[in-house]
Structure 1
Amino acid sequence: MTAGVSDVSGSRIERPEGIDELLDRVRLGLDRVEADEAYTAATAGDALLVDIRYAALRERDGLIPGALVVERNELEWRLDPQGSHRAAEATSHDLRVVVVCNEGYASSLAAISLRQLGLHRATDLVGGFQAWKAAGLPVAG
């Protein structure tokens, strides 16, 4: 999406949308969840937590017990219920997926991408793994 601006002559020119604007726009379509809500939903079996952090962060900070680890560049292939490379957990388009990145930025974009594949309940964790850890929720390794 682009936003219009005027140059010195008053002519209208278009400028690309910046990442902050993009994040603000896509987050309007997400029902983002806080760490406690994500924990409750996951432990009740009402949501699948999907950790998209890269390996170095997972090794440094640990893992959320029970979360499905999927590298960001594989996410759509692994979570598409119709895909030939789907994870066993990708059972339907009705699946509630909570995407977790390190701080809650990349996960918003990833959740929107999943919604474009028909996973209409996909969302992300506000503050990412760091918010999970700060809330004192379980972390393994």
Structure 2
Amino acid sequence: MSAAEPTGIDELLERLRAGYTRIAPQEAYAASRAGALLVDIRYQALRERDGLIPGALVVERNELEWRLDPQGSHRAAEATSHDLQVVVICNEGYASSLAAVSLHTLGLHRATDLTGGFQAWKAAGLPVISRP
């Protein structure tokens, strides 16, 4: 039995992203206005440096699955249903893709991520709250 060839991260992301539709900043903004849950998984230093998206739920990446699993004992109050539309946002749109796929595995079939991440949101001129 031979070992499988390693998969690089670029190939992995391409393959995983083919399983769902990512959304652009304006689409994410519209989705949030229609009830989607924006989830910011950036680490604290980036949030402090660049600001926050108003209304986004901040969940550190290492806690995401526990906080968004509607059946979990540590779920956030916003994690009400497997049918919840979730838009995961990281800094540039890479880690969020892996996170969205993980949420799909938990049954959150409407989970997606923001193409370009927070930086694309900010560049699009969408609302950002600066940290003091």
For 1:89 and 1:126, how far apart are their aligned partners in 2? 23
Alignment of 1:1-141 (within 5 A): 14-45=4-35, 47-141=36-130
For 2:24 and 2:30, how far apart are their aligned partners in 1? 10
How far 1:13 sits from its partner (Å)? Answer: 6.4
Structure showing greater radius of gyration is 1
SS at match of 1:73: helix
Q: TM-score scaled to structure 1, two decimals? A: 0.89
Q: Among all aligned residue pairs of Structure 1 and Structure 2, give the percentage whose two residues are the same amino acid.
A: 80
Q: 1:22-61 CA distances to partner (integer Å, 9 max, x unpaired)?
A: 000000012100000000110122x100000000000000
* Partner residue in 2 for 1:5: none
Q: Tell me the amino acid that sits aligned with residue 111 of structure 2.
A: A
For 1:112 and 1:61, how far apart are their aligned partners in 2? 26
* Partner residue in 2 for 1:3: none
For 1:57 and 1:16, how far apart are their aligned partners in 2? 31
Unaligned runs of 5+ in 2: none
* Partner residue in 2 for 1:8: none
Q: Tell me the amino acid that sits aligned with residue 35 of structure 1.
A: P
Q: Tell me the amino acid that sits aligned with residue 97 of structure 1.
A: V
How far 1:126 sits from its partner (Å)? Answer: 0.2
Q: Tell me the amino acid that sits aligned with residue 17 of structure 2.
A: R
Runs (4+) of structure 1 moved beyond 4 Å? none
Change (3 A) 1:16 1:56: same
Q: TM-score scaled to structure 2, two decimals? A: 0.95
Change (3 A) 1:73 1:13: closer
Q: Tell me the amino acid that sits aligned with residue 60 of structure 2.
A: E
| RMSD of aligned residue pairs (Cα, Å) | 1.0
